């Protein structure tokens, strides 16, 4: 699984990149310059081959545990989809895009 953290959204971008990498040690976490989620920055995206990709915006340190939970569910899902959005917790309200795999 690859996780991308926007490095241009806010002054906390570098710190959030490090925090996400720490809570998702099994993922390949990389910083990326702008994912066009600026109106709801701080953006974080999840991608895996053959799976739906997700882009979340407005991510703060408070959502780190929800990102961890999402990563676990996403890794377990064969195609990256979920039968019921509430399993995503508060992240379901922070989704900017769900991109077909």
How far, in Å, CA of 21 to CA of 30, rounded? Answer: 8
Tokens standing for residue 40: 């709801």
Residue 92's pLDDT is 93
Residue ranges and CATH numbers for the domains of the chain are 2-99 (3.40.30.10)
Residue 8 predicted with pLDDT over 80: yes
How far, in Å, CA of 34 to CA of 6, rounded? Answer: 5
Over pLDDT 70: what percentage of the chain?
A: 100
Residue 36's pLDDT is 83
Tell me the whole-structure pTM to 2 decimals: 0.92
C-alpha distances (whole Å) from 19 to each of 26, 38, 52, 69, 76 are 13, 20, 24, 15, 22
């Amino acid at each position: 699984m690859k996780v991308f953290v926007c490095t241009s959204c806010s002054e906390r971008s570098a710190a959030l990149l490090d925090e996400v990498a720490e809570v998702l040690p099994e993922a390949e976490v990389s910083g990326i310059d702008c994912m066009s989620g600026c109106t709801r920055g701080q953006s974080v995206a999840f991608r895996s081959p053959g799976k739906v990709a997700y882009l979340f915006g407005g991510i703060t340190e408070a959502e780190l545990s929800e990102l961890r939970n999402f990563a676990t569910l996403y890794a377990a899902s064969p195609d990256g989809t979920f039968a019921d959005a509430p399993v995503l917790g508060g992240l379901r309200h922070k989704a900017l895009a769900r991109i077909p795999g």
